[in-house]
């Protein structure tokens, strides 16, 4: 099946039309979506009022679904083993306390990050389904880490070529004021720090990209502060407006992105209307 693809902005994102994900997709369609993801970092499927079973069936076409194990993200309403809710409200409809573990965990989405870089194997793809949006939803921003890498100087590319970076969920959450005592006791066992290359080569396209995230703590073998300054400098570079697509959410949007060569962040939202996006992810099959 040929996908009806419409590039958005400068062609880092695209909208996929004429498809109903509730009906399920066949192998050819899954392959066409994979091909589209090699070219576009972000795919927007508009008008997809899917349920959990349909979201699960969709992600299973693309690899092993990521298990959501952290108790900080679990509630009765989002108890599904592969999903959690990027939500502003608790199950009873009250606002999530910004100082609770769940509140601090989710608020870290405001930092530029890559989903699942704190795991090994890391996340490959994220699929986010808009289940409930306020009237004026805050956009989500995406950065093109392939274009950002390509725009680096030859000297900088040579300098960072073989660097390895340690990623940790506790590092990104410490930036939001989360202390080790705010986590459930087994969080440290579930999420030990991991090492990933700073420059990744896409297995399908051969294209290189920066691999950064709020979880990126330091560069292996460099003094911590030196590595941290480099990570910050590269993050600033990669998130300049020229590399960014800002997604304005519409009801029933489903947005899918390739975490191996994109970063993203939430933008602030002060309203009290609920905003609930159901998160799911697909892991890489081998360590990166
Ligand atoms: C995510 C995420 C940002 C947002 O779902 O992984 O970072 O705008 N979301 O909610
Ligand atoms: Mn995210």
Instruction: Work out which ligand 1 atom sits closest to the CA atom of 279.
Output: 5
Q: Whose CA is nearest to atom 4 of ligand 1?
A: 266
Mean pLDDT of 2-31: 95
C-alpha 95 – ligand 1 centre gap (Å):
17
Q: What pLDDT, in 10s, does the model give residues 203-235?
A: 889 999 999 999 999 999 999 999 999 999 999
Q: What percent of the chain has pLDDT over 70?
A: 100
The residue nearest atom 10 of ligand 1, judged by CA position, is 266
Average model confidence (pLDDT) across the chain: 96
Q: What is the pLDDT of residue 77?
A: 84
Mean pLDDT, to the nearest integer, of 109-137?
97
Give yes or no for residue 37 having a pLDDT over 90.
yes
Q: What is the pLDDT of residue 10?
A: 83
Ligand nearest 110 Cα, by number? Answer: 1
Confidence category of residue 185, pLDDT binned at 50, 70, 90? confident
The 3-state secondary structure of the chain, one letter per residue: CCCEEEEECCCCEEEEECCCHHHCCCHHHHHHHHHHHHHCCEEEECCCCCCHHHHHHHHCCCCCECCCCCHHHCCCCCCCCCEEEEECECCCCCECCCCCHHHHHHHHHHCCECCCCCCCCCEEEEEEEEEECCCCCCCEEEEEHHHHHHCCCHHHHHHHCCCEEEECHHHHHHCCCCCHHHCCCCHHHHCCCEEEECEEECCCCCCEEECCCCCEEEECCCCHHHHHHHHHHHHHHHCCHHHEEEECCCCCCEEEEECCCEEEEECCCCCCCCCEEEEEEEECCCCC
From the alpha carbon of 264, which atom of ligand 1 is closest?
Answer: 7
| Atom nearest to 275 CA in ligand 1 | 10
Task: Output the CA 163–ligand 2 centroid distance in Å.
Answer: 24
Q: Tens of pLDDT along 2-15?
A: 899 999 988 899 99
- Which pLDDT does position 218 carry in this prediction? 98
C-alpha of residue 63 to centroid of ligand 1, in Å = 20
The reported pLDDT for the residue numbered 179 is: 92
Separation of CA 117 and ligand 1 centre (Å): 14
User: Domains of the chain, with CATH numbers?
Assistant: 4-283 (3.60.130.10)
Of 36-40, 174-178, 186-190, 191-195, the range with the lowest mean pLDDT is: 186-190
Q: Is the pLDDT of residue 1 over 80?
A: no
> pLDDT of 64-75, one tens digit each?
999 998 888 889
Confidence of residue 126 (pLDDT cuts 50, 70, 90): very high
Nearest-CA residue for ligand 1 atom 8 is: 266
- Residues within 6 Å of ligand 1 by CB: 86, 109, 115, 126, 128, 140, 264, 266, 277, 279
What would the mean pLDDT of 105-110 be, rounded to a whole number?
A: 96
Q: What percent of the chain has pLDDT over 90?
A: 90
Distance of CA 265 from the midpoint of ligand 2 (Å): 6
Q: Please tell me the pTM assigned to this model.
A: 0.97
Where is average pLDDT lowest: 25-39, 170-184, 240-254?
Answer: 170-184
């Amino acid at each position: 099946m040929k996908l009806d693809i419409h590039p958005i902005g400068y062609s880092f994102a695209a909208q996929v039309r004429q498809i109903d994900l509730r009906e399920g997709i066949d192998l050819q369609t899954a392959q066409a979506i994979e091909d589209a993801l090699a070219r576009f970092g972000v795919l927007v499927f508009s008008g997809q009022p899917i349920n959990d079973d349909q979201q699960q069936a969709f992600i299973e076409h693309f690899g092993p679904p990521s298990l959501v194990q952290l108790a900080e993200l679990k509630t009765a309403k989002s108890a599904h083993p592969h999903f959690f809710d990027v939500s502003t409200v608790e199950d009873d409809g009250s606002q999530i306390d910004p100082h609770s573990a769940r509140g601090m965990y989710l608020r870290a989405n405001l930092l530029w990050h890559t989903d699942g870089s704190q795991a090994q194997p890391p996340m490959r793809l994220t699929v986010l389904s808009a289940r409930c949006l306020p009237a004026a939803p805050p956009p989500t921003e995406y950065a093109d880490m392939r274009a950002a890498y390509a725009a680096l100087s030859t000297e900088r590319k040579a300098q960072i070529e073989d660097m390895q970076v340690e990623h940790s969920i506790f590092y990104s959450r410490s930036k939001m004021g989360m202390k080790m005592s705010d986590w459930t006791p087994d969080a440290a066992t579930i999420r030990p720090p991991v090492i990933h290359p700073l420059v990744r080569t896409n297995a399908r396209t051969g294209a290189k990209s920066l691999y950064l995230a709020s979880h990126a703590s330091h560069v292996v073998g460099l003094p911590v502060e030196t590595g941290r300054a480099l990570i910050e400098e590269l993050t600033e570079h990669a998130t300049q407006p020229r590399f960014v697509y800002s997604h304005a959410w519409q009801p029933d949007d489903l947005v899918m992105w390739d975490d191996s060569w994109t970063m993203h962040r939430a933008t602030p939202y002060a309203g009290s209307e609920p905003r609930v996006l159901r998160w799911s992810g697909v892991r890489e099959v081998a360590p990166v």
